[in-house]
């Protein structure tokens, strides 16, 4: 048998050596933990050995630190930035200690699931704190004296987040809309901060169960209505107390798990909804110190209630009901969306005791007068409950919807005055003894698509637009022969891709006179002239009386002299001129633009301006479509463009606009765009709102111009896809990226204009540092610090007193809302009007002219003077009654 060889000792020695080496992960975590131990004062770590995995409160897996739990252990000192090197850390629990200094970043700790650092003394929140925390489920930051900070977008990428709590943590700004889109978020706590703004619309349909937003501090308040709460069906706890919320408490029937509803110390109005009173799960409700009306609600036994202080219930005993007159009047107020002036005036249970707007004869209500109040909403059918009513006066508001049929049963009624509102639909058939005043409602008698937001008494709307019906009637009246000719002509025009031309005949009385003609169209070397043409938006447009001779326009502009040029743009050149003693502005398309795109925009501008008439939209006086020329003739605005006044005032010899002038301009523009958006039959989107397209008169009042890019909003609740148009800097993000068009893209552009009015700076300026090139980003960043914003952001040319600064701040906040990233977070233009109107010291209401243009043969001077005289009479009437202050 051979000799057995003993194994070599070398492999065994190598294995022994390797076993003595620490793992690389433990080595890295050891260094980080040693740094943490140097800056933190942890009593339990004083006698700990060198292996962090054996320290009290530290848990490891595979040699890596996965948990640090020092909750309420008397820890002080500062937290080292080395905490970000613990790549396997899953849970960090440092709450209820005295740790101070800057909070280090936790960026890119992808395994981190829970962070509890509440009830400490951290002072600064790093900008990248939430970056890369993809596994994060719970974050509590409460009760730390952080310097003001706003919640960054990085939080939206924490898709597993279940609990986010930052109460009393120095949070400023608005509630980010992304919280409502986080599918796993169940608890959101942001109380005792300095937050502002409204509840995000994105909360609708979210899975949030606990919403705690109470007691915003330092003069800051969350504001607006709380309607979205009704759509947060998973809610169990709602704390909104000590804020500035307004409007009624919505129907909470869908909140099947609601246990705790706290909304005391706000400005809530209206009647407490039965769905809250009868909630089977409710355990606690606080509603004291609001403006609530109606009967004192009686909650079920076992519900803790705080409601009896500081409200305006009609009776003090929960078992009693309001007087029927009070109940009906509150329904009327509900139609008006519970305006605050009525809420404050209507107290007690007897409406005949100095209730605002209510006049009684004995104990019967005989007059309801709510004129000149700026009310929105609808006319409530409950008005039909007042059997003795003689006069209903609702003039000069912004009421929409229909006149309710219930008014026709009021036998003593003699007057219904709804002039100057936004009513629509068929007017009910009243008795002959009833005077119905309905002037100033452009859509009265027209059916409105209910998706557009107008809700009458029955909410119905005809499927056929009035304009379409009118076209059918006209076609029948004209006869089959004319219809056939029109069809042939239309096909011929489509084949040629060419808009109809106006014959360039010399006027009989000389070239200086305007040629009043009709739109002509060549057909087989003949001509067919018709009063109506089919425009590119599918409706019929009356063009008679608008066509002008090329010879007259050449004569008016000195043959398009360079000396007459007052503006240039991508479309071409604008000239001033004088025609029959009237100053005009002529927009002349540049050579080469007259093609399909040029024809499209030319037709669009004619079409829009013939169908809309408003004192803050520039008036189209005529046009000429010659073989080689496309010309639009406008009223002349001698004050130039807003762009010249804001950015080129010294070059143009203008004095800088005062703050009051800028406010008035903002309101004028808002009014004009609101009118475009709110037309019931055909609502339009401007798409190119900017200072260059805002013209001023000698009194610095503004009109919106340039409608070549306008689009018809077929459905106000939907968007359209279209080719990108407009001007960079004013383009809403969703439009620039996707081409989707809604009225909210105009709202965004309007917000940019407000920023320019405040700062006097262009939205895009390459002379600013790279990070500040876009004014929107700079503005939205700076506004987070109100004090510094008011010191550094306003235009240095403005001389602002304390009252001016208050209004400037309100406009700045409006600008921020209008430029919100999400379209759903932007207000409608009607909201902008309502916000700006009270800030303008003396404002005249919009006069909506009659839809018709009057006599088609009226001269240009006569037409313009008629409009001006109408405005003058309006101004005189306004000045005679100084009590009238409405929009």
CATH number at residue 515: 3.30.200.20
Chain centroid to CA 612: how far?
23
| Tokens coding 367 | 């007059």
Residue among 738, 687, 739, 743 at smallest CA distance from 710: 687
Catalytic pick among 422, 449, 688, 746:
688
Residues 296 and 352 both lie in one domain: no
Residues 793 and 694 both lie in one domain: yes
More reliable by pLDDT, 111 or 459: 111
Alpha-carbon distances, residue 813 vs 522, 574, 779, 806, 887 (angstroms): 55, 35, 10, 11, 21
- Which of 273, 306, 339 delimits the end of a domain? 306
Q: For the chain, what is the domain count?
A: 4
Residues 624 and 651 both lie in one domain: no
Reduced to 3 states (helix: H, G, I; strand: E, B; else coil), residue 671 is: helix
Radius of gyration of the chain (CA): 34
The pLDDT of 562-576, averaged and rounded, is 81
Residue among 769, 772, 777, 766 at smallest CA distance from 821: 777
Residues 443 and 399 both lie in one domain: yes
Residue among 30, 115, 109, 26 at smallest CA distance from 70: 115
Number of H helices, E strands in the chain: 18, 46
Q: What is the pLDDT of residue 871?
A: 40
Residue 333: pLDDT over 90: yes
Rounded Cα distance between 499 and 56, Å, is 85
Binding site members: 587
Q: 23-73, pLDDT tens digit by residue?
A: 444 446 899 999 999 999 999 887 667 789 999 999 999 889 999 999 999
On whether residue 181 sits in a domain, the answer given is yes
Cβ-contact 199, 176 below 8 angstroms: no
Rounded Cα distance between 427 and 413, Å, is 15
Q: What is the pLDDT of residue 525?
A: 28
Question: What band does 627 get if pLDDT is binned at 50, 70 and 90?
Answer: low
Residues 295 and 235 both lie in one domain: yes
Residue 247: pLDDT over 60: yes
More reliable by pLDDT, 387 or 46: 387
Buried b (16+ CB within 10 A) or exposed e, 260-271: bbbbbbbbbbbb
The pLDDT of 205-220, averaged and rounded, is 92
| Tokens coding 439 | 């002037």
Give the domain CATH number at 772: 1.10.510.10
Indicate the burial class of 473 (C-beta count within 10 angstroms; 0-12, 13-18, 19 or more): exposed
Residues 302 and 342 both lie in one domain: no
Residue 221: pLDDT over 80: yes
Rounded Cα distance between 142 and 156, Å, is 19
- Which of 598, 617, 635 delimits the end of a domain? 635
The pLDDT of 360-373, averaged and rounded, is 94
Q: 110-136, pLDDT tens digit by residue?
A: 999 999 999 999 999 999 999 999 999
The pLDDT of 370-386, averaged and rounded, is 94
- Which of 262, 278, 306 delimits the end of a domain? 306
Torsion of CA 499, 503, 507, 508, to 10 degrees: -150
Cβ-contact 193, 166 below 8 angstroms: yes
On whether residue 53 sits in a domain, the answer given is no
Reduced to 3 states (helix: H, G, I; strand: E, B; else coil), residue 830 is: helix
Rounded Cα distance between 423 and 425, Å, is 7
Local structure of residue 253 (DSSP, 8 states) = T
Instruction: Output the DSSP codes for 176-210.
Output: PGGGGG-TT--EEE--SSEE-B---GGGTT----E
Local structure of residue 860 (DSSP, 8 states) = H
The pLDDT of 871-881, averaged and rounded, is 35
Local structure of residue 510 (DSSP, 8 states) = -
Reduced to 3 states (helix: H, G, I; strand: E, B; else coil), residue 267 is: strand
Alpha-carbon distances, residue 652 vs 236, 268, 566, 640, 649 (angstroms): 62, 50, 11, 9, 5
Provide the sign of the torsion angle of the four alpha carbons 659, 662, 666, 668, taken in this order: positive
Residue among 688, 675, 679, 683 at smallest CA distance from 714: 683
The pLDDT of 89-106, averaged and rounded, is 96
For the chain, percent of residues with pLDDT exceeding 90: 57
The pLDDT of 829-850, averaged and rounded, is 66
Give the domain CATH number at 361: 3.80.10.10
Phi/psi for 415 (5° steps) reads: -145, 130
On whether residue 372 sits in a domain, the answer given is yes
Residues 565 and 693 both lie in one domain: no
Q: What is the pLDDT of residue 117?
A: 97
Q: Which domain holds residue 237?
A: 66-75+84-306
The pLDDT of 453-466, averaged and rounded, is 37
Residues 139 and 280 both lie in one domain: yes
Provide the sign of the torsion angle of the four alpha carbons 535, 540, 546, 547, taken in this order: positive
On whether residue 670 sits in a domain, the answer given is yes
The count of residues in the chain is 887
Rounded Cα distance between 442 and 420, Å, is 9
Residue among 84, 26, 86 at smallest CA distance from 52: 26
Residues 498 and 586 both lie in one domain: yes
On whether residue 852 sits in a domain, the answer given is no
Residue 534: pLDDT over 60: no
How would you classify the pairing of strands 237-239 and 210-212?
A: parallel
Residue 853: pLDDT over 60: no
Residue-averaged pLDDT of the chain = 80
For the chain, percent of residues with pLDDT exceeding 70: 75
Rounded Cα distance between 521 and 486, Å, is 10
Residues 627 and 683 both lie in one domain: no
On whether residue 178 sits in a domain, the answer given is yes
Beta partners for 145?
none
Alpha-carbon distances, residue 145 vs 121, 167, 771 (angstroms): 6, 11, 29
On whether residue 37 sits in a domain, the answer given is no
Residues 676 and 696 both lie in one domain: yes
Question: What band does 740 get if pLDDT is binned at 50, 70 and 90?
Answer: confident
453 phi-psi bin (left φ>0, alpha ψ -120 to 50, beta other): left
Beta partners for 210?
187, 237
Rounded Cα distance between 465 and 448, Å, is 8
Residue among 208, 146, 177 at smallest CA distance from 129: 146
Reduced to 3 states (helix: H, G, I; strand: E, B; else coil), residue 829 is: helix
For 719-744, the three-class secondary structure string (H helix, E strand, C coil) is: CEECCCCCCCCCCCHHHHHHCEECCH
Which of 158-172, 288-302, 560-574 is least confident?
Answer: 560-574
Q: What is the pLDDT of residue 112?
A: 97
Angle at 848 between CA 843 and CA 852, to 5 degrees: 160
Q: What is the pLDDT of residue 710?
A: 56
Q: Taking the CA of residue 632 as centre, how many other CA atoms within 13 Å lie in the half-sphere pointing to its CB?
A: 28
Greatest CA span in the chain, whole angstroms?
Answer: 140
Phi/psi for 780 (5° steps) reads: -70, -25
Q: 501-512, pLDDT tens digit by residue?
A: 333 333 333 332
Binding site members for ATP: 587
Q: What is the pLDDT of residue 251?
A: 94
Cβ-contact 747, 829 below 8 angstroms: yes
Rounded Cα distance between 120 and 97, Å, is 5
Catalytic (active site) residue 153: no
Rounded Cα distance between 688 and 675, Å, is 16
Question: What band does 608 get if pLDDT is binned at 50, 70 and 90?
Answer: low
Cβ-contact 230, 206 below 8 angstroms: no
Give the sheet arrangement for strand 91-93, strand by strand. Answer: 58-61, 64-69, 91-93, 114-116, 138-140, 163-165, 187-189, 210-212, 237-239, 260-262, 284-286, 304-306
Name the most confidently modeled range: 422-436, 468-482, 765-779.
Answer: 422-436
Residues 610 and 726 both lie in one domain: no
């Amino acid at each position: 048998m051979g000799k057995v060889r003993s194994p070599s000792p070398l492999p065994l020695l190598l294995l022994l050596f390797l076993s003595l080496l620490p793992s690389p992960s433990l080595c890295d975590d050891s260094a980080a933990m040693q740094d943490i131990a140097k800056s933190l004062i942890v009593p339990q770590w004083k006698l700990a050995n060198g292996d962090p995995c054996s320290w009290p409160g530290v848990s490891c897996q595979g040699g890596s630190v996965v948990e640090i739990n020092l909750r309420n252990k008397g820890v002080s000192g500062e937290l080292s930035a080395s905490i970000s090197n613990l790549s396997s850390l899953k849970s960090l629990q440092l709450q209820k200690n005295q740790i101070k200094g800057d909070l280090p970043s936790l960026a890119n700790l992808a395994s981190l699931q829970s962070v509890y650092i509440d009830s400490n003394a951290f002072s600064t929140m790093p900008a990248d704190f939430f970056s890369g925390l993809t596994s994060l489920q719970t974050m509590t930051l409460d009760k730390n004296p952080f310097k003001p900070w706003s919640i960054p977008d990085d939080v939206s990428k924490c898709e597993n987040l279940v609990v986010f709590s930052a109460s009393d943590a120095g949070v400023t700004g608005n509630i980010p809309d992304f919280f409502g889109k986080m599918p796993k978020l169940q608890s959101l706590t942001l109380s005792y901060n300095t937050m502002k703004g409204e509840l995000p619309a994105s909360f609708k349909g979210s899975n949030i169960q606990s919403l705690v937003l109470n007691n915003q501090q330092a003069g800051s308040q969350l504001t607006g209505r709380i309607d979205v709460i009704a759509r947060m069906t998973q809610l169990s706890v709602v704390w909104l107390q000590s804020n500035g919320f307004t409007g009624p408490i919505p129907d909470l029937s869908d909140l099947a798990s609601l246990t705790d509803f706290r909304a005391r110390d706000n400005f809530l109005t209206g009647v407490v909804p039965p769905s809250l009173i009868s909630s089977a799960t409710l355990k606690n409700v606080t509603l004291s110190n609001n403006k609530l009306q109606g009967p004192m609600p009686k909650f079920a036994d076992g519900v803790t209630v705080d409601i009896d202080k500081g409200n305006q219930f009609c009776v003090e005993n929960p078992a009693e009901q309001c007087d029927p007159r009070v109940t009906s009047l509150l329904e009327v107020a509900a139609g008006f969306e519970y305006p605050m002036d009525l809420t404050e005036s209507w107290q007690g249970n007897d409406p005949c005791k100095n209730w605002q707007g209510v006049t009684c004869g004995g104990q019967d209500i005989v007059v309801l007068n709510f004129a000149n109040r700026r009310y929105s909403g609808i006319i409530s059918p409950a008005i039909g409950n007042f059997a003795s009513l003689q006069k209903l006066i609702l003039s000069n508001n912004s009421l929409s919807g229909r006149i309710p049929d219930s008014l026709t049963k009021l036998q003593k009624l003699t007057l219904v005055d709804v002039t100057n509102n936004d009513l629509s639909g068929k007017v009910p058939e009243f008795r002959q003894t009833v005077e119905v005043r309905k002037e100033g409602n452009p859509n009265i008698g027209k059916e409105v698509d209910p998706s557009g937001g107008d809700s009458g008494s029955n909410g119905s709307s005809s499927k056929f637009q009035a304009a379409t019906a009118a076209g059918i009637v006209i076609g029948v009246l004209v006869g089959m022969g004319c219809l056939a000719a029109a069809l042939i002509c239309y096909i011929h025009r489509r084949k040629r891709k060419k808009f109809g031309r106006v014959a360039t005949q010399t006027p009989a009385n000389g070239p200086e006179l305007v040629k009043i003609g009709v739109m002509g169209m060549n057909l087989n070397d003949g001509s067919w002239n018709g009063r109506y043409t089919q425009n590119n938006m599918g409706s019929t447009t009356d063009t008679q009386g608008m066509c002008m001779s090329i010879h007259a326009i050449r004569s008016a502009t000195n043959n398009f002299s360079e000396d007459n040029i007052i503006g240039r743009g991508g479309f071409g050149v604008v000239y001033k001129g004088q025609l029959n003693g009237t100053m005009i502005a002529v927009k002349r398309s540049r050579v080469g633009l007259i093609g399909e795109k040029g024809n499209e925009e030319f037709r669009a501008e004619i079409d829009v301006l013939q169908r809309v008439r408003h004192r803050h939209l520039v008036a189209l006086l005529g046009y000429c479509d010659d073989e080689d020329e496309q010309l639009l003739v406008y009223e002349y605005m001698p004050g130039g463009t807003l762009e010249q006044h804001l950015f080129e005032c010294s070059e143009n010899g203008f004095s800088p606009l005062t703050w009051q002038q800028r406010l008035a301009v903002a309101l004028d523009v808002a009014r004009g765009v609101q009118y475009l958006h709110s037309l019931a039959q055909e609502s339009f989107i401007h798409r190119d709102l900017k200072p260059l397209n805002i013209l001023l008169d000698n009194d610095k009042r503004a009109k919106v111009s340039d409608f070549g890019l306008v689009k018809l909003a077929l459905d106000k609740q939907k968007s359209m896809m279209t080719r990108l148009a407009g001007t960079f800097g004013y383009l809403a993000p969703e439009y620039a990226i996707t081409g989707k068009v809604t009225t909210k893209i105009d709202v965004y552009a309007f917000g940019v204009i407000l920023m320019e009015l405040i700062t006097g700076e262009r939205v895009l300026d390459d002379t600013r540092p790279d990070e500040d090139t876009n004014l929107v980003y700079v503005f939205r960043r700076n506004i987070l610090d109100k004090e510094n914003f008011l010191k550094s952001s306003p235009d240095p040319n403005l001389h602002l007193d304390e009252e001016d600064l208050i209004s400037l701040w309100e406009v700045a906040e409006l600008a921020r809302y209008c430029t919100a990233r999400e379209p759903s977070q932007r207000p409608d233009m009607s909201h902008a009007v309502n916000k700006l109107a009270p800030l303008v010291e003396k404002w005249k209401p919009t006069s909506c002219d009659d839809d018709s243009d009057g006599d088609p043969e009226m001269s240009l001077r006569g037409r313009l003077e008629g409009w001006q005289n109408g405005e003058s009479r309006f101004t005189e009437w306004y000045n005679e009654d100084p009590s009238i202050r409405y929009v």
